[in-house]
Amino acid sequence: MQERRSSESYILRVVTRTLETRRERIIATFLLSLTIPCSAQLGVILALLSESLLSLAIWSCYIVMIFIIVGWLSGKLIPGNSSAFYMEIPPLRLPLLSNVLHKAFIRMWWYFVEILPVFMVTSLIMWLGDRYGMLAYLISSLEPIMGLLRLPIETAQPFLLGFFRRDYGAAGLYEMCANHSLSKEQLLIASATLTLFLPCVAQVAVMIKERGLFVAFIMLCSVILLAFMGGLLLSRLLIFFTIQL
């Protein structure tokens, strides 16, 4: 799962570099951080919501809708002009084994040099936070927000741990579902909010490196705000339309 998260960070780092302007790179980074979950989290959420096809359809349409709306608003609010995107496609040939091995070595080296220290520091922070009560304090600070979302207060823990490791957040929802602590409506709200919630630590590190500390901080604050606003809106829509899952 760590390799999957590192590949997500690699995509954020490399793919956005193909965009020509800084404005477009910022928009792409913001949308990737907000609405695109890592593969580990995505698999668990799809498995949880697959018991109700209506829940899965609402979750999918809601995330796509937020992606389109936020992308359109970002394009309008961030100053600058769009550039014509052209990418030359090289001729497709059968790759040489030496090239494949060389690139695989480069990816592994990048992973160990840049990503592995991030996970080591994250694990240390989580251990210290748990030992000295900082995690418990942060979890308790999220409990009022869980009340606004009509979620059990225990849901605060998966949200907080999901920032350090995205699969931990999804696994926390799975455990709550196994214990029958979440209704189908609450699972849908929690899944949508967690999908929009903060990216993992590795991706945040790449954001800071690629976009700068100030821009990354603004993005993270916006992601937190939009995630909880999106979850709150979804919970109110379910009540307003009296949707039974």
Kindly list the distances between the CA atom of residue 104 and the CA atoms of 107, 111, 140, in Å, as whole numbers in the listed order. Answer: 5, 11, 43
Q: What is the pLDDT of residue 59?
A: 94
Q: pLDDT-derived band of residue 56, with 50, 70 and 90 as boundaries?
A: very high
Mean pLDDT for all residues in the chain:
82
Q: Is the pLDDT of residue 48 over 60?
A: yes
Please state the rounded mean pLDDT for residues 142-168: 82
Q: What is the pLDDT of residues 177-214, one digit of tens each?
A: 888 888 889 999 999 998 898 777 777 877 887 788 89
Nearest to 25 by CA among 38, 36, 14, 9: 14
pTM for this prediction: 0.79
Angle, vertex CA 62, rays to CA 222 and CA 85, nearest 5: 70
Q: What is the pLDDT of residues 90-149, one digit of tens each?
A: 788 888 899 899 988 988 887 778 777 777 877 787 788 778 888 788 878 888 888 888
